[in-house]
Amino acid sequence: MLRIGAWGAGSVAVAAAGALTWRSVDGGVFAAGTGPAYEPWSLPAPSGPRDLVHAAILAANAHNTQPWIFRVEPDRIDVFADGTRTIGTIDPLLREQQISLGCALENLLTVAPLAGLRATPTLLPDPSDPGHVARVDLAPTARTASPLADAIPSRHTDRAAYLAERPVSDAALKRYRDAAEGAGVSLLWLADDDERRAFGDLTVRATEAIIADPDQAADDHRWYRSEWRDIQRLRDGVTIDASGQPAFIRTVAKIFPTTREQNHDGWLRGTRDTQVPTAAAFGALVVPDGHDPAARLAAGRAYQRLHLMATADGIAMQPLCQIPERVDREESAGLDPHFTRELADLVPAGHAIMTFRIGHPTVAAPPSPRRAVEDVLADAQSRSGEPDTAY
């Protein structure tokens, strides 16, 4: 047996303490939510078109890929999809990318009156360029404040537990449904016990199917960010702090590097044991044609509007889209349409293209890293492309 004397043991202890301290610093244990990657959440009072883009980049978006590019002129902003920032087999039909762009567009339009600008959007203005998702014409108008614009820098995805014993009132659910509907989008609430149980069970099974699918598992993992230095460098992706895990688990995960399998095991446990059982209700945004880009953009606008309303009301929300992701995977890969059939049973009218949960929060949701406005402008010298995983 190897024996270590008193001095040797002390040296090992010092070395171990030093290693843990280094890992704590490198993992961002003492710097959660700080640094340049989080500076965009300090949203200035808007005064011009560039400030509208600043609001747009704070929108909800799938896996925090931030798949947008903006061209800014004094009287116009054009919104483009960044085709390099995709989630691969997680989003093979680009449904989530287009929903994300709709979210960004809604933020832009919401903050415009606060800047004294009337913003008039035209969706898909160039039939020859499907990546040109919107043109927004700007004109001066009286400055108008709104609680939704005020909520933009406070809106964060909340993956933590909700207050399971406290429902969201029927009146609030109806108000949110009324606000979401329009432009071909409707909102279906799955709120009674049987509906929540069925949706929750299908979501857990969809999570298991994604983890068991090598391509989807790899594409999902590419957007996890565990190192503080990488968060500051890449300024995108899902972080440990935003994972919804308890504080102790988040700290351990930062100090001790985790594998893809461990990350996915935590995702499954969080979905099954925390997110599904504590949701007050699940929502499904439904459109007549799930492949229609305009409908996807409209659904994104609806979701962002709902989340801003919920934020203003002190209500938490989180996209919970594993089922639609498996539906897209089945279609794109020619798999047996198992999840497609089961989702159609839950939502028999139309196509449920985005699903989410809602409830009363137990903690304050943390912000996610965001790229700077300069990095998402069409005339930028360089833009982030495929996420750099060569850490």
Output the CA–CA distances (angstroms, integers) from residue 118 to 49, 70, 109, 112, 153, in the order listed: 11, 18, 8, 6, 21
User: How far apart, in whole angstroms, are the C-alpha atoms of residue 59 and residue 110?
Assistant: 11
User: How far apart, in whole angstroms, are the C-alpha atoms of residue 106 and residue 185?
Assistant: 14
Can you give the pLDDT at residue 391?
Answer: 26
Contact between residue 134 and residue 125 where contact means Cβ atoms under 8 Å apart? yes
User: How far apart, in whole angstroms, are the C-alpha atoms of residue 332 and residue 226?
Assistant: 30
Which of 377, 386, 381 has the alpha carbon at shortest distance from 68? 377
Which residues of the chain register pLDDT less than 50?
1-24, 381-391
Can you give the pLDDT at residue 31?
Answer: 64
Q: Which two tokens stand for residue 346?
A: 């839950």
Can you give the pLDDT at residue 255?
Answer: 80
User: How far apart, in whole angstroms, are the C-alpha atoms of residue 136 and residue 73?
Assistant: 10
pTM value > 0.85: yes
Which of 273, 272, 297 has the alpha carbon at shortest distance from 285? 297
The helix (H) or strand (E) run that includes residue 18 is helix 6-26
Per CATH, is 157-359 categorized as 3.40.109.10? Answer: yes
Q: Which two tokens stand for residue 201?
A: 């069970």
Q: Which long-range contacts (CB under 8 A, 24 or more apart) does 250-259 make?
A: 251/29, 253/27, 253/226, 254/23, 254/24, 254/27, 254/28, 254/29, 254/226, 254/228, 255/20, 255/23, 255/24, 255/27, 255/29, 256/23, 257/226, 258/226
- Residue 391: count other Cβ atoms within 10 Å of its Cβ: 10
Domain boundaries, the chain: 36-153, 157-359
> Strands 238-239 and 224-225, how do they pair?
parallel
The distance in angstroms from the start CA to the end CA of the chain is 37
| Burial of residue 184, with CB atoms counted within 10 A of its CB: 0-12 exposed, 13-18 middle, 19 or more buried | middle
Q: What is the DSSP letter of 362?
A: S
- Residue 346: count other Cβ atoms within 10 Å of its Cβ: 17
Contact between residue 311 and residue 389 where contact means Cβ atoms under 8 Å apart? no
Q: Which CATH number fits the domain 36-153, given the four candidates 3.40.109.10, 3.20.20.300, 3.30.420.40, 3.30.70.100?
A: 3.40.109.10
Q: What is the DSSP string of 80-127?
A: EE-TTS--GGGSTTSHHHHHHHHHHHHHHHHHGGGGTEEEEEEES--T
Q: Render the burial of 94-127: b for 16+ CB within 10 Å, e for the rest.
A: bbbbbbbbbbbbbbbbbbbbbbbbebebebbeee
Output the CA–CA distances (angstroms, integers) from residue 389 to 26, 81, 252, 254, 341, in the order listed: 16, 22, 22, 17, 36
Q: Which two tokens stand for residue 350?
A: 């139309």
Q: Which two tokens stand for residue 66?
A: 């931030």
Can you give the pLDDT at residue 7?
Answer: 36
Can you give the pLDDT at residue 8?
Answer: 42
Whether 36-153 and 157-359 share one fold: the answer is yes
Q: What is the CA radius of gyration of the chain?
A: 22
